[in-house]
Structure 1
Amino acid sequence: MPSLAVSAVVGAVFGVVLAAPPGPMNAVIAEESVLRGWPAGFRAGLGAMLADALFFVLAVVGLVAVVDRTPSLRSGLYLLGGLLMLYFAVGALRDASAAQSFTGDVGGDSKGFRKAFALALTNPYQIAFWLTAGVGLIEPGRLDVLGYAPAVGDALAGTLVIQTGSPALLLGFFAGIGLWVVAYPAALVAAGRRVDAAAPVVAGLSGVVLAGFGAAFLWIGTTGLA
């Protein structure tokens, strides 16, 4: 049986692996970071992380599974999430057109925390994680950690299997997400200060990512209700 330290480290790696891939949450974090600085990007990351903490509680009490048993509710979440992503994509593209350099050139208060939190709560992919791997983290048993990694999970399956249900594993998991929330905005800002002209590009790409996911979610939700 792995030690508490190993479980914590593995949980942290798992958290980073799940938080790092491109997607709507990282698009919001990137937009806030390059336009308003590290604190705004960090707050956006906290919004997504708070949603994960909420899903964790709901998974513990079994309420997340209701979504899995209700196809119409799942489709409704896709539609709502898609509309929110398209709405925020318009704002991101508008801000990108106004940006001249990294951090501070776009006015207005940061709404990244609320945007990321709202998107995360209506993100069926995030809910699906807590229905599958998330439940696996909570319940005592065995977890194929690298088998859930996006894109390369099949190739890495069976490489690192640990015991689940350990508090150290769960704390490590959220610590890994927290590490990404701190490091990702910092990396964007550090790189952006060297190449100020990239700010509109990064913000614009964030808008494109949100728009792409929004359109995909609307399509999935519409076909699910049909």
Structure 2
Amino acid sequence: MFDIQNYASFVGAIFVFQLIPGPGTLAILNATARNGVAAGLGAVMGTLLGDMVYMVAAVLGLAAVMHSVPALFQGLQWFGAAYLGWMGLQLLRKPIADVSGAPEARKSGWVYFRQAFAVSLTNPKVVLFFVAFFPLFLRADASSLTLGVMMAHVTLLSFLYQAALVLVGNAVARKLSRLPWVRRLATRAAGAALLAFGIRLAFDNR
């Protein structure tokens, strides 16, 4: 669909990545817990903008590689499968620590937008992730338009998940944060899913 191979796996992988607590997720939950929905949505937009900057950088590089060096593009596909598997193993081995936050004075959504944008830009591993992730679901003859469609998918699905996290899931997440076994189970499940995605896509790219 949309010239994206393994479309169901592509969409599923995006949701799995959203479920992995990262700096952006923590910034969104922190903003919502401290100053409500408006602050949380501001953090969502800042996180998405930061991811978009890295996505554009990754896509510009991939578009050049796809058309000029097909062998290197295939190598990126294998690298992407290995990278997913490595991320999964890291999550399976990761210790789960308790996190707590201190009260904060009321601030506007714009403040949290800037904070989340800065947090997103201080994580340059995101561009490595997109360089590894996108080739897994591209054919070597795919057009540049397909990369744009993939970016739109990532942005839209990320927004839907993060907005739901703000509007519905924040109160639940705050309660679950006090239950280490729940966070441990979620982290291990995400790790197993990423490892499975990496193995499956490695076989698909043979």
Counterpart of 2:155 in structure 1: which amino acid?
Answer: F
Q: 2:162 aligns with which of 170, 178, 181?
A: 181
- The question of 1:133 aligning with 2:133 is answered yes
Query: Residue 58 of structure 2 contacts residue 127 of structure 2 at CA under 8 Å; is this kept in 1?
Result: no
Hey, what's the Cα distance between the residues in 2 that align with 1:13 and 1:176? 10
8 Å Cα contact 1:7-1:172 kept in structure 2: no
What 5-or-longer segments of structure 2 have no aligned partner?
63-98, 179-206
Deviation at 1:28, TM superposition (A): 0.7
Percent identity over the alignment? 22
Tell me which amino acid in the other structure corresponds to 2:50. Answer: A
1:14-29 correspondence runs (5 A): 14-29=13-28
How many Å apart are 1:181 and its aligned residue? 1.7
**AA partner of residue 176 (structure 1):** L
Q: Which residue does the alignment assign to 2:153?
A: 172
Contact 1:12 1:175 in 2 (8 A): no
3-state SS of paired residue (1:61): helix
1:102 counterpart residue number: none
Aligned length: 139
**Deviation larger for 4-13 or 17-26:** 4-13
Deviation (angstroms), 1:188: 3.6
Partner deviation per Cα, 1:3-43 (whole Å, 9 max, x = no partner):
67997765443322222211211111111011111221122
TM-score (norm: length of structure 2):
0.52
Equivalent-residue separation in structure 2 for 1:125 and 1:47 (angstroms): 17
Which residue number corresponds to residue 98 of structure 1? Answer: 103
Aligned to 1:149: none
* Residue of structure 1 equivalent to 2:46: 47
Closer, same or farther: CA 108–56 of 1 in aligned 2, 3 Å: closer
The answer for the alignment partner of 2:115 in structure 1 is 115
* Residue in 2 that maps onto 1:56: 55
Q: Amino acid of the residue matched to residue 46 of structure 2?
A: G
Gaps of 5+ in 1: 64-91, 100-105, 143-163, 202-226
